[in-house]
Chains A and B, each alone.
Chain A
């Protein structure tokens, strides 16, 4: 059996969020169990209304992806959940620090609010990647 994949997503850069979403989704639809832990600045991209005023921060490649209608990172994660075994968790510390309410997050995307200790304990037998 293929090793599960655990992803810690903490960057608010569009390029990293996109790559994390692509990696998570493709692995999930390829018969691999995937868990994503969203923390730090990445949380802003998962709010219904981003406190930054824009969903993604990014550089030249981000602009190109938006111009050329590359698949949206959050839509990809939704597809990964629908078509594969993809779980998303939001970091309790990130909610505390930012003051973001769980209800302000995009609905039906996250499975649970958890801490890093629980995520790491659940990921002991997984391949762990940080974006």
Chain B
């Protein structure tokens, strides 16, 4: 069963949210998801491009009130 972990990186400046995502992905199993919350506008483009380069999968991107929610599935170990 897919497990989802939420990481609240709101308030962290670039590249903080990305680094928190990378650290988080190391702690979960293949197939699990991380939902990262960020209010850094750069994360909207930075995280998807990193996910693609690193070989993981982008679940969803949501623009909420004053922050973004980005879901990433761990594909590679």
| Residues of A bordering B, CB below 8 Å | 22, 25-26, 29-31, 65, 68-71, 76, 79, 83
Contact = CB atoms under 8 A, between A and B. Distances in A.
The dominant DSSP class at the B interface is: helix
Interface residues of B, number: 13
B61 interface: no
Interface string B1-37: 0000000000011111011001100100000000000
Given A83-B22, A83-B23, A30 B53 contact: yes
Contact of B15 (A26, A31, A65, A68): A26
A71 B16 contact: yes
Contacts of B14: 22
Interface string B36-62: 000000000000001001100000000
A113 B26 CA distance: 31
A31 B16 contact: no
Contacts of A70: 13
A71 B50 contact: no
B22 A29 contact: yes
A71 B53 contact: no
Contact of A22 (B12, B15, B54): B15
Contact of B50 (A22, A29, A68, A69): A29
6 contacts: A22-B15, A25-B15, A31-B54, A69-B13, A79-B22, A83-B26
